């Protein structure tokens, strides 16, 4: 793998991973939590399979991608070398990609609208495979972001379960870039608790320690691990 500013060497990636795990452990210590209660999702979107394999060789098994087609090609190859790799799909998911997503992912973190709920229910029935499903909530009610609005989240959760028969296991959010993310994380944690949802995917490179202290079970870290994402060709 080329050793460039945008593509750390294998040793550099291993060092980044070790530092992130240390930061996770320290955040857990501050919160009185066991570090094993937090799963690091290494966000490898747009980074090559070589980078995924280098991080996997350093002990990381859970990765996040936002495009189904890219993930399918990249992880089919990576899993031939590291079959223990688990894939989370974290980006906006088109309904016509639902069946492909169900085929390849262990977790789908971007369930955010009724049509997608229906498409995933159909895909799960056809494929006989049930990835864990997280409802994405637009905690800042930002018009440019995906996710269920705050005020609609509880009703949407009920519809997913009762109308579509989906076994939703948790919630995901991306808080506003400006301001303190903690109130948003705390609100999401409260919603999860009220609905008996054990999984909370919240926190990224810039705020994952705060997310852990507010109850995150999964943190999605890309830039701090892999470096700046490659520019589109």
Along the 233 residues of the chain, how does pLDDT read in single tens digits?
544 445 789 999 999 999 999 999 999 999 999 999 999 999 999 999 999 999 999 999 999 999 999 999 999 989 999 999 999 999 999 999 999 999 999 999 999 999 999 999 999 999 999 999 999 999 999 999 999 999 999 999 999 999 999 999 999 999 999 999 999 999 999 999 999 999 999 999 999 999 999 999 999 999 999 998 765 54
CA-based nearest residue to 134, from 151, 118, 117, 122: 117
Q: Contact at 8 Å (CB) between 44 and 63? A: yes
Q: According to the CATH classification, is domain 10-226 in 3.40.50.2300?
A: no
Whole-angstrom distance, CA of residue 211 vs CA of residue 217: 9
Q: Contact at 8 Å (CB) between 226 and 42? A: yes
Provide the pLDDT for residue 70.
93
């Amino acid at each position: 793998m080329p050793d460039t500013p945008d593509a750390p060497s294998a040793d550099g990636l291993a060092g980044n991973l070790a530092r992130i795990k240390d930061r996770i452990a320290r955040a857990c210590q501050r919160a009185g939590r066991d570090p094993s209660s937090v799963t690091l999702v290494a966000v490898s979107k747009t980074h090559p399979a070589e980078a995924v394999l280098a991080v996997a060789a350093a002990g990381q098994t859970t990765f996040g991608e936002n495009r189904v087609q890219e993930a399918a090609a990249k992880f089919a190859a990576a899993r031939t070398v590291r079959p223990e790799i688990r894939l989370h799909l974290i980006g906006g998911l088109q309904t016509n990609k639902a069946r492909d997503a169900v085929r390849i992912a262990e977790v789908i973190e971007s369930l955010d609208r009724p049509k997608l709920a229906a498409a995933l229910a159909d895909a799960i029935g056809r494929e006989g495979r049930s990835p864990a499903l997280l409802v994405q909530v637009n905690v800042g009610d930002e018009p440019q972001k995906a996710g269920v609005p705050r005020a609609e989240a509880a009703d949407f959760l009920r519809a997913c379960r009762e109308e579509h028969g989906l076994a939703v296991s948790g919630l995901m959010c991306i808080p506003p870039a400006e301001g303190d993310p903690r109130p948003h994380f705390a609100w999401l944690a409260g919603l999860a608790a009220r609905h008996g949802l054990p999984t909370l995917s919240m926190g990224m490179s810039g705020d994952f320690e705060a997310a852990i202290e507010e109850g995150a079970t999964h943190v999605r870290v890309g830039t701090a691990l892999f470096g700046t994402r490659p520019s589109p060709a």
